[in-house]
Amino acid sequence: MYRLMIVEDEMIERIVLKKMVQKKFGESCHVFEAQNGKEAVDIFRREKIQVVILDIGMPGLNGIQAAEIMRKEDMHCCLIFLTAYDRFDYARKAISIKAMEYLLKPYSQKEILNVVEEALRITGERSQPPVAPKEIQADRYIPAGEEEPDYSGSRLSVMTSMVEEYIRSHFMQEISMNEIARAIGYSEPYFCKIFKQQFGQSFTSYLMEYRVNEAKKFLEQPNVIVKEVGARVGYTDSNYFTKVFKRLEGVNPSEYRMTRLKELQS
């Protein structure tokens, strides 16, 4: 059973988020609660929490400070930040401690559940041999300490095109937000800040939807084996791919293929 903790000082929001996670993941996930950073750190240490969803603006020890302690004690826990503040310094700090996602409130149920599901998948694969990180050279890399550039409409348009092209070329591989940021020549904090602004959703949700759309194209080809489709779009675990596909499309890959082939033949 996965161990997940929600750290939120607003009781109603904490309860709603907990019910949302429990309804989606059921008995596969034990959900703990904390109402401040200090309590969160205590529970984290005692229960060996694997996934943490943290609000940032809390009295006393805030979410960033609590996450820094957690990261020092466990390099593999998945940290997901929720905040109502679109502040660049928060995003930069979140990236520096290798947070998985930085979501702005109000977030959608679909968005948060996509991120949590991905965090649980990553947690479940921790026992597998680690993959060596790719070395990526970027001549236009902007150090995190420099002034934030003035993103004009044309510059954002170019950046958006580069992101789309990178995902189009690498979606079948394991890619992360940090990797793609460096690949297109930007520091992670800048990329994190502007991705949702441009695409209207988190990187994780965007990549999931892109992969499922590509999977649908393969499923329309009768010569492609259904069980191979997940691997072709970046999911080595076929069961996980089926879960993601069904959640986004309402049917499993085999059912989708049967329906589409009938439509194409009629």
65-101 pLDDT per residue, tens: 999 999 999 999 999 988 876 666 776 777 778 888 8
155 or 71, which is more confident? Answer: 71
Q: How far apart are CA 125 and CA 21, in angstroms?
A: 20
pLDDT of residue 191: 77
What is the residue type of 139?
Answer: D
Residue 233 has pLDDT above 80, yes or no: yes
Residue 23 has pLDDT above 70, yes or no: yes
Residue 149 has pLDDT above 80, yes or no: no
Q: Tell me what the mean pLDDT of segment 189-215 comes to.
A: 86
Residue 45 has pLDDT above 90, yes or no: yes
106 or 16, which is more confident? Answer: 16
Q: How far apart are CA 185 and CA 245, in angstroms?
A: 32
Q: How far apart are CA 74 and CA 239, in angstroms?
A: 28
Cα-atom radius of gyration of the chain, to the nearest Å? 19
Token reading at 68: 């820094």
Q: How far apart are CA 45 and CA 66, in angstroms?
A: 12
Q: DSSP character for 220?
A: T
What class has domain 2-124? alpha beta
pLDDT of residue 22: 93
pLDDT of residue 156: 63
pLDDT of residue 177: 82
The answer to whether the beta carbons of residues 233 and 218 sit under 8 Å apart is yes
What class has domain 206-265? mainly alpha
The SS3 of residue 28 is helix
218 or 188, which is more confident? Answer: 218
